[in-house]
Amino acid sequence: MPPSSTSFESFTPPTTINVPSAWRKVKEKRDGDSQTLPITLAQTACQTITRQTIETQTDPEPPLRFRLLQTYDRGTMVEFLDKVESMVSTQLLQNITSTAFDGWSAHWEEAVTTTTLLHTLSPPARERDAELLVTDLTWNRSGSTVCVAYGRFDHESWCDHKGALCAWSLAGRVVREAPIWSVETESCVMSAAFHPENPALIAGGAFNGQVFVAQTKDPQLDSIVATSKMGDSTHQEPVAKVEWVAADKAGDYNIVSIGNDGKVLTWNLSNGLVTPICGSQLLMGAIPRHLRPTGTIRPDTILGGTAISFSAENPITYIVATEPGYVAKCSRGITVPLDATSGEVGSGAPKMPNPIQFAYSPHTGPVNAVSCSPFHRNLFVSAGSDGLIRLYNVLQAKPLLTFSPSSQALYSTLFSPHRASVFAATSADGLLYIYDLAHSPSLPHTTLQVTARSSVAATALAFSKGRSEFLATGDAAGVVKVWRIASGLAAETVGREWRAIEALGGLAAD
Amino acid sequence: MSLQKDGVQKDYADVEATLTRITSHTGVQGIVIATHEGSVIRSTLDNIQTQQISTLVTQLAARGKSVVRDLDPEDDLTFLRIRSKKNEIMVAETKQYLLITIQNPNELQKGWI
């Protein structure tokens, strides 16, 4: 039977059915408006009409005039002194021998316990592309500007590179990436030194034997103030080191340069560096026979100089380090004055005297750096390619102490200008060693890796005289790092440490 | 009259001798003899230093004396020592005068070399 058509068909109801909600109510609504009242603005202007300037300045205080009280009762004075003298004398004597305060030092500033890296100064693009490395570092007098000399050590014959000097200032809160001053030179700069009093003059020694002076103050003038001319009496080989020394006139300074040709020349800026004032040459003749290499060596064999350091108290004597490994004491009195005629090319090299007075027992291999102690006139350190640092007493040929921090060559060493017993050295595997003789006479106090990898050598080192906490190291990648030295290594010498230095510096009792 | 003159000269020599003895001790940098008001009688230092020392140290000694007396009225200040990093200042005082000595205790006997 077919299904009925009324079932299962789509069914649409004819009308929609609405079922109202029992609980839902229509919500009451009400409209309202609000508006802030208009803001009243008033405008006035003011301007200074009358101006008044006033200046003040302190006048130097007139020196206080005072006179000693002449009238006094002598009788009571004698009585007073009698009573008081014994008390004061016992106290004075006690003080000399007292060890009550040894090791006590009041720290008024926060002590920094470790040596930390403060800034990393990367070379500018040109120097980085030319793969120049840091050959020397120098701080200026105020201690907050560091100048970096860029050059290379690996020349085969002539120098084709253009070296540079760049200076960074660390005085501000932010140290900029780019140097505040830089100058390009004709050949690699091998050494640089800031003037000890004028914070804007830098002396530099170049690979082609020239000595030049640059100024950082005035950007309008030429950066290079003077350059030495080539001549028979000037350096024929690279200049190893330049230093400023006090001249006879107070406030005047001479530049002393030592070169790989053994010449030690004195220059002065007053004649525009046209010719050196006087010079001498290091010759084998003054080295005693037992120190010379075996075989007959002619006494006029030249000893190439690699470093020079002046004694702090007596700048007439200086210590030189040489390529064959000899360390010698020389005197500035043994020189021959040079003038313009002797400097001309072709007039023949003037015969220069040998300034060596005393030779110390040598290193094996070239001695790379030498540094006299600024605190004691008798002490100096030398660092050689044999990885040894030797502490010598000026009066003795054998070294007092020998330190062997590394099996690799040591490139530089310096005494700290702030602590008498502290000196630092850098090595070819990128390590910086800081020694403190009062702390331990054989092991370094601090050893730091100052280069990115140990295949990069740390080539230069400089303590800042003005700011005792700064130490700069330069490496073979051209990067300069500025470190903050731990306070224990930077604070001034006091008490027992000084006695350790005195003991080393005085003549050995036995 | 002559006796009195001799006496005065003898006193003067004594004073000088005492001062030389004191200054000859190791490390003594200078001495100043002053009164409580700050006026100076003898000094082995230069003018500016003497002026500074006499005013500053006499004030400090007076302060020290008042501290001691406040703590115990029967006590009295005999000796005042101030030790700094570089040197030590010693003050010995009586009713009329003060003897101020400055010594560097770290200075060692100066040898021959």
Rg of chain A taking only CA atoms, in angstroms: 37
Q: Which of A88, A102, A395, A502 to mutate to test the interface with B (most CBs of B within 10 A)?
A: A88
Determine, yes or no, domain membership for A82. no
User: Which residues of chain B lie closer than 8 angstroms to A87, CB-CB?
Assistant: 78-79, 92
- Cβ-Cβ contacts under 8 Å, A106 against chain B: 85
What is the C-alpha to C-alpha distance for residues A173 and A419, in angstroms, rounded to an integer? 27
Chosen for mutation from B19, B33, B88 (greatest number of chain A CBs closer than 10 Å) is B33
- Locus of tokens 């030495």: A228
* DSSP-derived 3-state class of residue A171: coil
Q: Which pLDDT score is estimated for B6? A: 56
Per DSSP, the three-state class of B110 is coil
Q: Do B99 and A72 touch (CB under 8 A)?
A: no
Do the chains contact at A78 and B14, CB–CB below 8 Å?
A: yes
Query: Is residue A44 in a domain?
Result: no
Count of alpha carbons within 13 angstroms of residue A471, beta-carbon side: 29
Q: By the CB < 8 Å criterion, does B58 face chain A? A: no
| Cα–Cα dist A400/A388, whole Å | 13
| Cβ-contact B9, B2 below 8 angstroms | no
Residues in chain A closer than 8 A to B15 (CB atoms): 74, 77-78, 81
* CB-based contact, B92 to chain A, within 8 Å: yes
Asked if residue A192 lies in contact with residue A136, where contact means CB atoms within 8 angstroms, the answer is yes
- Angstrom distances, CA of residue A68 to CA of A426, B35, B39, B47, B54: 57, 11, 7, 10, 11
A359: nearest Cα among A296, A420, A303, A423 = A303
Question: For residue A218, what is the domain's CATH number?
Answer: 2.130.10.10
Predicted pLDDT of residue B111: 35
Residue A2 covered by a domain:
no
A81–B99: do the CB atoms touch at under 8 Å? yes
Residue A353 has what pLDDT? 86
Q: Indicate whether this model's pTM tops 0.80.
A: no
Q: So what's the pLDDT on residue B2? A: 44
Chain A: give the shortest CA distance to residue B66, in Å: 20
> Is A121 a domain residue?
yes
Instruction: DSSP letter for B65, please.
Output: H
Full residue range of the structural domain in which residue A218 is found: 116-505
Is A89 an interface residue toward B (CB < 8 Å)?
yes
How many whole angstroms separate alpha carbon A481 and alpha carbon A170? 12
Among B14, B47, B79, whose Cβ lies nearest the Cβ of A66?
Answer: B47
Number of Cβ within 10 Å of residue A269's Cβ equals 16
- Helix, strand, or coil (residue B85): coil
Whole-angstrom distance, CA of residue A317 vs CA of residue A370? 14
Q: Quick one: which of A218, A119, A126 has its CA closest to A170?
A: A119
Asked whether residue A20 is assigned to any structural domain, the reply reads: no
Taking the CA atoms of chain B, what radius of gyration do you get in angstroms?
Answer: 16
With CA atoms as reference, report the closest residue to A182 among A143, A238, A128: A128
Q: What is the rounded distance in angstroms from the CA atom of residue A207 to the CA atom of residue A227?
A: 13
A326 within a domain of the structure (yes/no): yes
Gap between the Cα atoms of A424 and A447, Å rounded = 10
3-state secondary structure of A90: helix
CA nearest A75 in B: which residue?
B11
What integer pLDDT is reported at residue A66 of this predicted model? 63
- CA B10, B15, B18, B22: dihedral to nearest 10 degrees? -160
Residue A390 lies in a domain: yes
3-class state of residue A215 by DSSP: strand
Q: Report the 10 Å Cβ neighbour count for A141.
A: 16
The CA distance from A344 to A151, in Å, is 28
Q: Which residues of A142-158 are buried (b: 16+ CB within 10 A; e: fewer)?
A: ebbbbbbbbbbeeeeee
The number of folded domains in chain A is: 1
Low-confidence ranges of chain A (pLDDT < 50): 508-510
- The DSSP code sequence of A349-412 is PPP----EEEEEPPPSS-EEEEEE-SS-TTEEEEEETTS-EEEEETT-SS-SEEE---SS-EEE
Question: Distances from the Cα of A389 to the Cαs of A180, A369, A392, A404, A450, in angstroms?
Answer: 35, 9, 10, 6, 19
Task: Say if A240 falls within a structural domain.
Answer: yes
Are A381 and A413 contacting, i.e. CB atoms less than 8 angstroms apart?
Answer: yes
Q: What is the pLDDT along chain B (113 residues), one digit of tens a residue?
A: 444 555 556 667 778 888 888 888 888 889 998 888 878 888 888 888 888 888 899 999 999 999 999 999 998 888 899 988 788 899 998 888 889 999 887 765 433 33
